[in-house]
């Protein structure tokens, strides 16, 4: 699975306005709605599901990154929105630091193996200092897309 194919380019938000977790999640869901990746009628349902998941344990995994996620019934394919915040988002992260990069994952409930594969790809990239550093410097959608493509190329060369 390639990060550059599961991230919806029209749902990359290079400068999140929100500084609070729930608002940032809403902002990314709005980007997915605007991109046509999720139906507007499902937006609030997804937000409630993602926040419910967050209350079981933060997906702020440390080092300034978070991977909120939800599995949805009858959802067509693994879909990811990316949000970047220069100021940082309070996400109740494990290291208690603000989050600067959020990868919101929505995947089909019926295909849990795809959800796991997507999480592995996302967390694998976010686990690399250089990837996080470059991601934090990105200010434009095309810069994020290039970084995702380079990360995919680096993974396939090994």
Torsional class of 133: left (φ above 0), alpha (ψ -120 to 50), beta (otherwise): alpha
Model pLDDT for residues 107-145, shown as the tens digit of each residue = 999 999 999 999 999 999 999 999 999 999 999 999 999
pLDDT at 156: 58
Q: Which domains does the chain have, with CATH numbers?
A: 3-156 (3.40.930.10)
**pLDDT for the residue numbered 74:** 85
**E-assigned strands of the chain?**
7-13, 60-62, 65-66, 69-72, 79-89, 99-108
pLDDT mean for each 10 residues of the chain (158 residues): 95 96 97 96 95 92 95 93 96 93 96 95 94 94 96 72
pLDDT confidence of residue 154: 81
């Amino acid at each position: 699975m390639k990060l550059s194919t599961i991230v919806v380019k029209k749902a990359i938000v290079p400068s999140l306005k929100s500084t609070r977790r729930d608002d940032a999640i809403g902002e990314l869901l709005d980007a997915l709605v605007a991109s046509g990746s999720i139906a507007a009628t499902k937006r609030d349902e997804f937000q409630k599901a993602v926040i419910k998941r967050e209350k079981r344990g933060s997906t702020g995994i440390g080092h300034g990154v978070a991977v909120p996620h939800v599995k949805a019934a009858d959802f067509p394919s693994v879909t990811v929105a990316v949000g970047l915040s220069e100021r940082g988002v309070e996400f109740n992260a494990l290291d208690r630091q603000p989050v600067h990069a959020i990868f919101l994952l929505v995947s089909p409930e019926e295909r849990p193996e795809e959800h796991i594969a997507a999480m592995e790809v996302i967390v694998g990239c976010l686990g690399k200092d250089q990837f996080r550093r470059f991601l934090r410097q990105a200010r434009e959608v095309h810069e994020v897309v290039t970084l995702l493509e380079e990360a995919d190329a680096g993974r396939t060369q090994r």
